[in-house]
Amino acid sequence: MMDAYSNKNGKQNNQWSLSSVVSAIGLFVFLLLPCFLALFLAQDLSSMLMRVVYLLGSVGLMAFAASVLSARKCFYVLSVLLPLGGIEIIHLIINHATTSMLFVYTIIASEPGEFLELLSTGWLIALFAFSLFAAYFFVVRRFIPKDTYFFPRHSRHVVAWVVGAYFALCSLGLIVSSHRDVLPFLSLNAEDTRTAAWIGIEKICPVNQVLATIHIIEVQMRVRTQNRRLADFSFNAHSQTSHQPDVILIIGETTRYGNFSFNGYARATSPRLQQRYENDELVSMNKVYSIADLTTVSVPYMLSPATPQNASDYLYTKSIVEAFAEAGYRTAWIADQSFGNPMLLRISNTCDFVHYQAAKDYNYSDEDLLPILSEQLHQNDKPQMIVMHTLGCHFRYDQRYTERFRKFQPDMSNIEPDSVRNLIDSLREYKALPTNEVKEIIVNSYDNAISHVDFIVDTILQIVDNSDREAVVVYISDHGENLLDDERMMFLHGTYGGSEVEFHVPMFVWATPAYRQQYAEKMEALRQNNNQLTTSMSLFHTLLDAACLQTPYFDPTMSLFSSDFQADSILYGLDANMNCTILPYK
């Protein structure tokens, strides 16, 4: 390596000084930092075989670049690993896994306000990253000789062929294991072989991010053509009653089942809903789990009859909103988030009324949605199906509520934003138990946000009650949140493998007196089912049943309003790469 070579004039160049050699080695090690970190942190590299294949793949990519490019050009080309490697490191620290497709999608489709909130908590890290970027190019320009190769001429082809053969073998292992039913005579440990091959190809940085981006583009293209593909699709939905009630669906954001006081939380975070619960107006479903811990997956799927076991069905069926429209309902979509989610935009754009609340200086408040709901309920005589997609408890929690809801202090409003995040990162780095101070600040802020959710939902119920319409209101959160709950130091959501608090979501139902009287049997079935184990996939069927809508896609065994409801014995979900997985929660 780093030998002399003959230039075009036949003369030999050997410009490698000691400082150049040291610089080159240092740059390669620097570029491999995400790989080294993954070997220790990535839980999706769950065996020694996986780690070996991952390491060889990461080194092999750089060796291939070094075999076909001169030294300086090689480092210029590999500089793409700096920002992508930074993304990989962030994902590894937050999720303890290599970068997933949904993490890449979140970066691409993030709301400007959400992005600025997160950036405000880590601007020092961003400044440090830019400084490293500048230092990298300085070292390349200053110490790496121009027009000099790492390998002698006769070795470069050998290195390129060896690396190519390695990836070919990984691909072969993936193909063989994927078709083990066709090739049963190959007595391989299919799971280990497939996983190792998958890691060798897809999980190494930056291949994972490039392939994730390609897949996201493919999905977005499919979504863009979905309307054309669904043009002839019909649920054949129709009403079974002349008393068509209004149905209002509130989709919460990042709310945990266990942080509402009516679900047994020690703090009085939801006094308004607690009062309704004690008056037997509110029915809380105690064992509902989201199928995913990211909004981009959980919300579109909860509105669809598709399931994690048949995830691709999502692209070939319409949403619950469109089923209601077929049955003669006026539909409305009122939201202050997911402006850039193509799957949700496809659904909302089919509604008779659509309102996305603009931010005020990137400050979003669910209170701004309340007058919009009131207007919709008072201006139309047709039965209505209204979806309210709120921002709920999305990080940063202290920006979700106003001063009057700072019940629990100290909260994040009292300190510099980056101080909280830096302290969290330090605790995670040393795997220490969360200090009382840090956890208290985070939990106080989160519980204040829950108190604001309590106010928002209770106000919605008042608006619906005052409209004198027969109606039922269903609340469900897209996913939960980690709040440094244990020694794993998990924070936020979307983590690899997840935790129970990320998937266990609040779901509760309230109905007007007229609805409770008209559909007493349904309300009684709902109460009987409140401790049944299920996932957010039951929402589609529950909403149809709430409105007495019939369609061949309706399954009464999945409706919480039905006495025929059957609890799940196995909970299926979708992981961060959109693969069906079993959720280990009961």
One-letter-per-residue 3-state SS of 271-319: HHHHHHHHCCCEEEECCEECCCCCHHHHHHHHCCCCECCEHHHHHHCCC
**Three-state SS at 437:** helix
Distance (Å, whole) CA 32 – CA 82: 10
Q: Tokens for 292? A: 């995913």
Distance (Å, whole) CA 127 – CA 120: 12
pLDDT (0 to 100) of residue 354: 92
CATH of residue 389: 3.40.720.10
How large is the average pLDDT for residues 458-485? 94
| Residue 428 belongs to a domain | no
Highest mean pLDDT among 107-121, 128-142, 495-509: 495-509
203 and 250 part of one domain: no
Q: Which pLDDT band, with edges at 50, 70 and 90, does 426 fall under? A: low
* pLDDT over 50 (residue 5): no
327 and 387 part of one domain: yes
Write out the DSSP string of 349-380. Answer: TTSSEEEEPPPBTTB--GGGGHHHHHHHHTS-
Distances (CA, A) of 316 to 284, 323, 512, 538: 32, 14, 35, 19
Q: Tokens for 581? A: 């997985």
Of the listed ranges 88-97, 132-141, 531-540, the least confidently predicted one is 88-97
Q: Tokens for 364? A: 């979003």
Provide Rg for the chain, Cα atoms: 27
pLDDT (0 to 100) of residue 309: 93
Distance (Å, whole) CA 378 – CA 467: 7
* pLDDT over 80 (residue 6): no
Distance (Å, whole) CA 213 – CA 511: 43
Rounded (5°) CA angle 44-45-47: 125
Determine if the peptide bond prior to 396 is cis (ω within 30°): yes
Q: Which pLDDT band, with edges at 50, 70 and 90, does 194 fall under? A: very low
| Residue 232 belongs to a domain | no
The number of beta carbons lying within 10 Å of the beta carbon of residue 21 is: 13
270 and 213 part of one domain: no
210 and 294 part of one domain: no
Side-chain half-sphere CA neighbours of 68 within 13 A: 12
How large is the average pLDDT for residues 53-57? 82
Q: Is 96 left (phi over 0), alpha (psi -120 to 50) or beta?
A: left
Q: Which pLDDT band, with edges at 50, 70 and 90, does 187 fall under? A: very low
Q: Which amino acid is at 548?
A: C
Each residue's pLDDT tens digit, 227-256: 677 878 999 999 988 889 999 999 999 999
365 and 496 part of one domain: yes
pLDDT (0 to 100) of residue 434: 58
| Residue 465 belongs to a domain | yes
259 and 204 part of one domain: no
Q: Provide φ and ψ at 378, rounded to 5°.
A: -105, 5
* pLDDT over 50 (residue 191): no
Q: Provide φ and ψ at 335, rounded to 5°.
A: -150, 160
* pLDDT over 60 (residue 362): no
Q: Which pLDDT band, with edges at 50, 70 and 90, does 414 fall under? A: confident
Distance (Å, whole) CA 372 – CA 366: 11
State the virtual CA torsion across 574, 575, 577, 580 in degrees, nearest 10.
-50
Distance (Å, whole) CA 300 – CA 495: 19
What average pLDDT does the structure give for the chain? 83
* pLDDT over 70 (residue 171): no
Residue pointed to by tokens 């209601």: 324
397 and 329 part of one domain: yes
132 and 273 part of one domain: no
| Residue 39 belongs to a domain | yes
97 contact partners, CB below 8 Å, separation of at least 6: 42, 43, 44, 91, 495, 496, 497, 576
How many helices (H) and strands (E) in the chain? 22, 17
Q: Tokens for 324? A: 């209601």
Choose the final residue of a domain: 167, 198, 217: 217
550 contact partners, CB below 8 Å, separation of at least 6: 237, 238, 239, 240, 544
| Residue 312 belongs to a domain | yes
182 and 281 part of one domain: no
Of the listed ranges 44-58, 123-137, 168-182, 188-202, the least confidently predicted one is 188-202
Q: Per residue in 469-484, is it b (16+ CB within 10 Å) or e — as a string?
A: bbbbbbbbbbbbbbbb
pLDDT (0 to 100) of residue 164: 75
Q: Per residue in 367-386, is it b (16+ CB within 10 Å) or e — as a string?
A: ebbbebbbebbeeeeebbbb
181 and 288 part of one domain: no
| Residue 433 belongs to a domain | no
200 and 317 part of one domain: no
| Residue 207 belongs to a domain | yes
Residue 449's domain spans which residues?
245-408+444-583
DSSP H or E segment with residue 346: helix 342-348
- Contact by Cβ (8 Å): 245, 546: yes
Highest mean pLDDT among 43-52, 296-305, 351-360, 406-415: 296-305
| Residue 413 belongs to a domain | no
179 and 52 part of one domain: yes
Determine if the peptide bond prior to 229 is cis (ω within 30°): no
- Contact by Cβ (8 Å): 445, 411: yes
**Three-state SS at 144:** coil
**pTM for the full model?**
0.72
Position with higher pLDDT, 488 vs 568? 568
Total residues belonging to the chain:
586
- Contact by Cβ (8 Å): 116, 62: no
Q: Which amino acid is at 251?
A: I
Domain count within the chain: 2
Q: Which amino acid is at 407?
A: K
Going by the DSSP 8-state scheme, the letter that residue 100 receives in this structure is P
Choose the final residue of a domain: 202, 217, 232: 217
Q: Tokens for 184? A: 């049963």
* pLDDT over 80 (residue 153): no
pLDDT (0 to 100) of residue 52: 82
Each residue's pLDDT tens digit, 61-89: 888 888 888 888 989 888 888 888 888 88
